[in-house]
């Protein structure tokens, strides 16, 4: 079979990789995944889903031509695509994993297109949010890590579960983020929604990175735990809540070094 790049497994250097170090596997686009029949019930397709139906059809046809140009072969029936075995295996793991760790990260960044020295209201440059999605498809102690950016590029890496702490901490850290300090903050969200209750968020300060994480299970599962992180130059704060539960939300200050561990603690629901 013709080798495919970047679909083929990475063989960067001949030296054996550290078992705890993520290994790059492949890069696929939204449209290529749709073409390969690899849509997933929890994984977003940010670019493809924003297109109108007619444009989606064009995008999939373009993806077909792109895969052929990169060496993917047409099967004997003249219609199906014969992808490399390693990509087929990757998609099998992705499609069959019972548990998926879902991490959504939104980072507030300065709009670089704004003229230098010409701020917005109050002299501050305008900002925008950059969102990425991270999915850890879990099979025993193996993790197929899928990172999806706003353009619909899906990067796949292989690693083991013990490596997740470090990988997630690196994914969530930001130059503006510092350790959280002080006492907890309690928010009565239901009361706030009805115009009741006091809101004192000065302690929280400015938020640069917002993170929502949960552990999804294919098929029936108890109400999942939702982890929220609010990170910024005034500290890091974490909240936990059971999906659908009512009552106040408690934000606790946490150190930057604990961010990865906080997210991987959700894996305890696997039993």
- Residue 188: pLDDT over 80: no
How would residue 198 be classed by pLDDT, with cut points 50, 70 and 90?
low
pLDDT, residue 76, reads 66
pLDDT for 65 equals 86
Whether 254 contacts 180, CB under 8 Å: yes
Q: Which of 53-67, 94-108, 139-153 has the lowest mean pLDDT?
A: 53-67
Mean pLDDT of 249-268: 94
Assess whether pLDDT exceeds 90 at residue 141. Answer: yes
Q: Is the pLDDT of residue 199 over 50?
A: yes
* pTM beyond 0.85, yes or no: no
Check residue 22 and report its DSSP letter. Answer: -
CA distance 98 to 52: 32
Average pLDDT over residues 114-128: 61
Region 210-232 average pLDDT: 92
φ/ψ of 75, rounded to 5, equals: -70, 175
Compute the CA torsion angle 12, 17, 19, 21 (nearest 10 deg). Answer: -60
Q: Please check whether residue 35 is in contact with residue 81, taking contact to mean a CB–CB distance below 8 angstroms.
A: yes
The mean predicted confidence, pLDDT, of the chain is 83
Structural contact between residues 105 and 171, judged by C-beta atoms closer than 8 angstroms: yes
Torsion over CA: 91, 96, 97, 99 (sign): positive
Which 3 state secondary structure label does DSSP give 17? coil
The answer on pLDDT for 186 being more than 80 is yes
Read off the DSSP letter of residue 8: S
């Amino acid at each position: 079979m013709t080798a495919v790049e970047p679909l083929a497994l990475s063989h960067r250097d001949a030296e054996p990789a550290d078992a705890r170090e993520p290994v790059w596997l492949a890069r696929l686009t939204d449209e290529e995944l749709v073409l390969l029949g690899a849509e997933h019930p929890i994984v977003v397709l940010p670019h493809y889903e924003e297109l109108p139906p007619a444009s989606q059809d064009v995008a999939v046809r373009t993806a077909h031509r792109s895969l052929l140009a990169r060496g993917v072969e047409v099967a004997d029936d003249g219609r199906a695509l014969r992808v490399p075995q390693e990509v087929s295996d990757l998609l099998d793991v992705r499609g069959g994993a019972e548990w998926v760790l879902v991490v959504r990260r939104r980072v507030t960044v300065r709009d670089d297109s704004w003229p230098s020295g010409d701020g917005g209201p109050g002299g501050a440059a305008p900002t925008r949010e950059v969102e990425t999605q991270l999915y850890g498809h879990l099979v025993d102690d193996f993790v197929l890590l899928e990172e999806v950016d706003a353009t619909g590029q899906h990067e796949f890496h292989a690693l083991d579960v013990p490596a997740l702490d470090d990988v997630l901490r690196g994914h969530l850290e930001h130059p503006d983020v510092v350790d959280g300090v002080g006492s907890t903050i309690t928010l009565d969200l239901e009361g706030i929604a009805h115009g009741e209750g006091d809101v004192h968020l000065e302690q929280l300060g400015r938020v640069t990175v917002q993170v929502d994480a949960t552990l999804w299970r294919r098929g029936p599962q108890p109400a999942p735990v939702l982890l929220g992180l609010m990170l910024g130059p005034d500290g890091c704060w974490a909240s936990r809540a059971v999906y659908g539960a009512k009552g106040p939300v408690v934000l606790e200050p946490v150190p930057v070094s604990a961010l990865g561990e906080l997210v991987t603690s959700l894996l305890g629901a696997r039993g």
